[in-house]
Chain A
């Protein structure tokens, strides 16, 4: 039985199974409409919390700072892994486990560099659809127009009063956002986004890592 008290050694990321911060029971809730209420406004919200999330902090004088090669507010893809410049000296690595850890292993750790696996401490959701920006506008005070947050933009902001890291990561030309927050706020944020989508229609889905 999983408890909040750890008795074994090793990193949290080595636990045999990942437990989502979002209750799966909500997915089958009869009250959740999956049909868009506007034509062409299909929206999906996926819980992708099992995605590997590694936070790297590196001072500007370090080699790792230059190796990561994603300036503050931008992101790039390397071998299927998303490298996000989330803060001036902080990056988030998002992607499948093996390539993400391989990318981090290649970093020069000399100097003021820290690498922490936050896979189990952060919730991550993917909001996809043409109306995704409209949903975010209801929850967050930032400007989500293309000229302010184009594909690849990374910001940190308050979403439904929860501090979140947001990356615009379009899928095949469709607007898509990766939204992460502390795991303990995961269920609340998931519900808040579902609530905000009500006028647009969104299908909650707890699918595999995407």
Chain B
């Protein structure tokens, strides 16, 4: 089971999230060539190693976020600290 560290909800089962894909900068639509658009839309680096990727927390905070994962070991490097802690009522 893959545990994904959501920056809002904390560690979550990957089944609670949706894998969006590799995270890459979007080309400037005013200057990008057709070849650059094609590469952005269809080509993937697919490395055996560190990969920056986007996840969507569909069952939790419903936010998109990016993480860096080692595709060989499935370890997340520098996982974010959750911004919120579940707490008792004030």
List residues of A whose CB falls within 8 A of some B CB: 71-77, 87-88, 141, 148-158, 163
Contacts and interface: CB of A to CB of B under 8 A. Distances in A.
Contacts of A71: 84, 87
Contact of B62 (A76, A87, A141, A158): A87
Interface residues of B, number: 20
Nearest to B3: A141
B44 interface: no
Interface stretch (B8-16, B25-33, B47-55): B8-16
A162 to B, nearest CB: 9
B1 to A, nearest CB: 8
Interface of chain A, helix or strand or loop or mixed? Answer: loop
A157 B16 contact: yes
A156 B59 contact: yes
B61 A88 contact: yes
A163 B59 contact: yes
Contacts of A153: 86-88
Contacts of A157: 12, 16, 59-60
B85 interface: yes
Contacts of B60: 155-157
B89 interface: yes
A72 B89 contact: no
A87 B90 CA distance: 18
Contacts of B90: 74, 76
B86 A155 contact: yes
